[in-house]
Amino acid sequence: MSVHPPINRQRLPFFGLLLAAVAGILIADFTDWPSLGFLIPAILLAMAGVVLVRGPWIFLSVACAFACVHVWQTRESPSQRLADSVGDEKILAMAKGRVVTDPVPYGAMHERFTLAVEEIGWEGRTLFPSARVAVIAPIPAPAQGDLVSLTGSLQEIAGPRNPGEFDARAWMARSGIFNQIEVAAAEDMSILRKASGYSLIRLANRSREWMEKTLRLGISEDPVVCDFLAGMVLGVTASIPDSLQQEFRNTGTFHLFSVSGLHVGMIALILWQALKMAGVSRPWAVALIIPSLFFYALLTGWKPSSLRSATMSAIFLIGLTASQRPVPINSLGAAAFFILVQWTNEIFNPGFQLSFLVVAAILLLALPLHDGIRRHVHPDPFVPRRLWTWCQKQSAGLVEGLGGLVAVSVAAWIGSLPLTLYYFHLISFSALPANLLVVPLAFLIMVTAVLALFGGIFSVTVAAIFNNANWLFSQILLWVIHLMSCLPYSFVYVGRPAPAPVVVTVFDFGAGGGAAIESDGAIWLLDCGPKWQLDRVILPWLRSRGKSAPEGLILTHGDARHIGAAEELITDNRPGIIVESMLDDRSSQRQRIKQTMEELGIPKSLHRAGDLLRLSDSATLKILYPPTGILRNVADDKALVVKLDAGSASILFLSDTGESVWEWLRANAAPELSADVIVKGTPRSGIPLDLEFIDAVKPTLIISTAAHFPESERMDVAWLEHVGKRGIRVFRQDVTGAVRIEIQPSGFQASGFYNGEQFPESE
């Protein structure tokens, strides 16, 4: 029987305040009203609520108050005023301030941290904005709490240049940071004063470092397990392999790495049982556990999920010492309300949304589901329990435990489904059985980890013994996750439908190259860019289209900037067909790909000039170059040249080919060269596309890769002028970013992802 009345009959003051706060934040975010426009109504409505003793006035006052705070924290914040002063320029600036976050890796040789600016200046101007900026600096970066002085390039944080790419600009803006400073060399940054004095944050950071080190004792030779334990116990996920993280996402168990209610609940239960065994009274146990839970939240990064869980647990524990038990859904509302008081932008954080939606679903659905399971298995309710048979008692006990776990898992899956679809385009059917097996294992691992940490205070050997036990438990858990991830229909990606019968996406990989062709539900990749762009762009984009792998992968030539991601893509995602040129080259990258295909038993499909690839009923690719037997010394001149025919429009993909290829095509394939669009890279020689060749193709649009580095990849301004005089539009990708071409029966429309440029111009 339910402990509380139905939700519609409960008094939920904090839930009402939360709804008012959310409404106020959303109104402020979608309007451009100043803070004063919300502050005055908030004061007047609060006065009316006090005088008239009416709840609705109070809720309206809260909504206006949160709207006012949201404007203060965003549009009228010191960081936003600094961003308005800088604009979209890139300027050399000097700054002084205090490091307020731990440095995190940023690429191979740099780290990123947040600087609370005390003074910043450029071009003779000096400002004291009390703003926060992101700093990218060479390793080693200063520690949290250090006072530093630095010189670097001050600019706005760049947005994504490709579809599927993480939007760092929007993410940082929601954290109140709009600008970044790039420090070129170590000598451009100096530490004015090291962090000193007592700091709870520094204590938490040092404690986390000690704990992470202790959890590795005795098992350091297995970095995967060590990184898994650090991720699960402490929320440190930076070193966990992307492939392993993806398996946890696919099975709906990634919450093990997001310190949330499961973790905080485990810690609370462990501490409660330990204090109970030590004979500590209930009030004293609550007084000791609550600050411990908040310190654990601080220890794991003060994330909304851990803060919400600590707040809810604190409210529940306080209720244990009071005469009236707190209402869980109201406690959830209180936790969310207090988090939004701290930072209103948390409402737009996917982690915040997912955490609260899942917990709300558990609170609302788990008990009815459990009751339904119990009714179908328990004996006749009119038969007294003392008359039950032994088998009936055992089955009832099993249902109580297993049925509760099933009910919670189903409720959590239902609660997470809308957001996992929206953000990750994923439905995990293996989440239910995986969680049934993983959650008990996770609790066992957490208990053993706590024992290892406690034992590590006194003896390294004791810690190593518990860590070795945890190594076994972790291996079992990882095996379960891998098995569940490999099951047929373990998960499916649900993508958005293509906006046109044929859609071509030309990715912006700087000096590299890659394009995707979508037609009739099939996706073919023409090159896949450098290795580091696979997890950053290619795979997220594929998932957004409802795919885990392309139907076909065409490798034009051996340049690592074009096919560096192919080896890992082939190993983990298995494209249906892999197309290569008949011509061989000395590319070590291509040799590794061939070796990988042989080891996996994947056949290669070799093609030459004249071959036709039918992608779908709406699109075909014709190989125009190279022919069999042609001799070329440069790898760029051995690249595949293909032409896409999609009915109302055609696109010629030239890759990085140079003059000798253009001459051969004019001489041997002139009737087939005509195309509406040319997609070109830059040959190693740096020579722009020959004007006579352009005249032979007669395109209306040219899409050209362009980058600031190396020098040969920079856009030739004189060439642009000559092409412009022919009435041909050029999309240079250092300006447009990725380019999407939508081909309809009536023609095509091209648009730049980064700058929104369109061709033809929309009316």
- Both 66 and 97 in one domain: the answer is no
Sole residue written with tokens 């023609």: 747
CB 191 within 8 A of CB 127: no
CA distance 567 to 538: 13
The CATH number given to whatever domain includes residue 131 is 2.40.50.140
Within-domain flag for 229: no
Pick the closest to residue 749 from 738, 757, 655 (CA basis). 757
Domain enclosing residue 99, as ranges? 82-196
With beta carbons less than 8 A apart as the criterion, state whether 344 and 176 touch: no
Q: Which of 51-60, 342-351, 449-458, 711-720 has the lowest mean pLDDT?
A: 51-60
Q: Judge if 724 and 608 occupy the same domain.
A: yes
pLDDT of 88 above 60:
yes
Q: Are residues 119 and 39 in the same domain?
A: no
377 falls within a domain: yes
The whole-angstrom separation of Cα 655 and Cα 642 is 9
Reduce the secondary structure of 519-574 to three states and give it as a string.
ECCEEEEEEECCHHHHHHHHHHHHHHCCCCCCCEEECCCCCHHHHCCHHHHHHHHC
| Beta pairing class for 552-554 and 577-581 | parallel
- Of 151, 170, 196, the residue at which a domain comes to its end is 196
- Are both 709 and 626 inside the same structural domain? yes
Same structural domain, 375 and 396 = yes
pLDDT value for 198:
62
User: Quick one: average pLDDT of 611-619?
Assistant: 93
Same domain (yes/no): 417, 513: no
pLDDT on residue 282: 86
Query: Could you give the CA distance from residue 375 to residue 758 in angstroms, rounded to a whole number?
Result: 62
Q: Are residues 25 and 132 in the same domain?
A: no
Whether the pLDDT of residue 702 is over 90: the answer is yes
Structural domain ending residue among the three candidates 196, 220, 255:
196
Nearest to 219 by CA among 230, 234, 210: 230
| Most confident of the following: 358-372, 377-391, 508-522 | 508-522
Domain boundary among 50, 73, 96: 73
pLDDT one-digit tens code per residue, 462-481: 999 999 999 999 999 999 99
Q: What angle do CA 684, 565, 742 make, to 5 degrees?
A: 80
Of 356-360, 439-443, 478-482, minimum mean pLDDT range: 356-360
State the virtual CA torsion across 682, 628, 594, 542 in degrees, nearest 10: 50
**What pLDDT sits at residue 2?**
44
Question: Is pLDDT of 689 > 70?
Answer: yes
Give dist(CA 311, CA 689) in Å, integer: 63
Per the listing, tokens 């412009």 go with: 724
Judge whether residue 1 has pLDDT over 50: no
Alpha-carbon dihedral sign for residues 276, 281, 287, 290: positive
214 is a domain residue: no
Which of 253-267, 352-366, 417-431 has the least mean pLDDT?
253-267
Query: Which residues contact residue 258 at a Cβ distance below 8 angstroms, ignoring those fewer than 6 apart?
Result: 235, 303, 305, 351, 355
37 and 124: one domain? Answer: no
| Residue position matching structure tokens 């993480």 | 166
**Number of helical (H) and strand (E) elements in the chain, helices listed first:** 26, 26
Q: How many domains does the chain have?
A: 4
What pLDDT is recorded for position 304? 66
Structure tokens at 17: 């305040």
Q: What are phi and psi of 91, to 5 degrees?
A: -125, 155
Same domain, 369 and 511: no
Give the chain's mean pLDDT. Answer: 89
Residue 640 has pLDDT above 90, yes or no: yes
